[in-house]
Homo-oligomer: A and B are copies of this chain.
Amino acid sequence: MQKPYVIGVDMGGTNTVFGVVDARGNVVLKSAIKTGAHPNDVNRYIDDIHDELSKLIEQVGGLEKIKGIGIGAPNGNYYTGNIEFAPNLPWKGIIPFAKLMSEKFGIPAALTNDANAAAIGEMTYGVARGMKNFIMITLGTGVGSGIIIDGKLVYGHDGFAGELGHAIVVRSNGRVCGCGRTGCLEAYTSATGVARTAREMLETGNKASLLRNVPIESITSKDVYDAALQGDQVALDIFEYTGRILGEAFANFVAFSAPEAIVLFGGLAKAGDFIKKPVVEHMERNILQIWKGKVKVLFSELKEADAAILGASALAWEL
């Protein structure tokens, strides 16, 4: 008999959230722990997860009801099951996390990075159900991506494919990126990139703006959204600039894999048409003739509170 549930675990820098998920994509039970309570011992961290998660598993009828554990983790490598040199996690070097989890729980476990998990989640439960070719772009603190081709996630030769946030899109005088290079998509179209654009536009221009009421160093992409809602022209200019860079990049991504859709996910996606409209406009303006009007730009349909758990859990159906 097909086992009715999977476990999804999403490891963030601060919190680790996990839950029991059914085949329709309902998170039937969930909980969370602090990620950093045992910075020197990943096994004690796994003990913490086990203590909490075992309670949830008991409530749905025990381990025999669980097909497996899917994990989304920063720098997670699907091929090896390892977390490799993740800058935002307390444990250094290479952690064989999928293996440790599988041994602790006694059921299969698979791991990938957060953006890949989001793509699989979207294909399994979300707006990309039934799509064989799409690209998931996560617009959060950073910019991540998960690429689906022919119904499968692209891992590439080494397991690290799909780093579209680090496509270089500005060749001269590009912004410094967290990866140490300059001009990456992430430096412009992440939530932090949008805040940076806001500071630059306010400092170099002199247009009146609601954003001038916010201390300039603490402006967030949420402030820009709130100002745009009130028709603030500088805020709209910021979304136009961000959407242009994103749309131009999308036109090039389409030339690579000819997807049916590009799905937007993450904090910045909440800006809705403020971001989508310029993205679509500049993608269409820069796309090769054969794809004009054919590639959909969509928003994720996963409920935000559950999306990370759902994405990770979807991996486990494939075990």
Contacts and interface: CB of A to CB of B under 8 A. Distances in A.
B252 A155 contact: no
A101 interface: no
A318 interface: no
Contacts of A253: 256
Interface of A: 132-133, 147, 149-150, 152, 154-164, 166-168, 170-171, 179-181, 248, 251-253, 255-260, 286, 288-291, 294
Chain multiplicity (copies):
2
Which of A157, A162, A163, A248 has the most chain B CB atoms inside 10 A of its CB? A157
Given A181-B288, A257-B156, A252 B133 contact: no
23 contacts: A133-B156, A133-B157, A149-B156, A149-B161, A150-B152, A150-B154, A154-B256, A154-B257, A154-B258, A156-B258, A158-B291, A158-B294, A160-B258, A160-B291, A161-B257, A161-B258, A162-B256, A163-B255, A166-B255, A167-B255, A168-B252, A171-B248, A256-B256
Nearest to A85: B290
Given A156-B259, A163-B255, 4 more contacts: A160-B291, A167-B256, A252-B252, A256-B257
Contacts of A288: 163, 166, 179, 181
A170 B169 CA distance: 10
A252 B160 CA distance: 13
Contacts of A251: 168
A19 to B, nearest CB: 30
A147 B294 CA distance: 21
A157 B256 contact: no
Nearest to A285: B181
B147 A260 contact: no
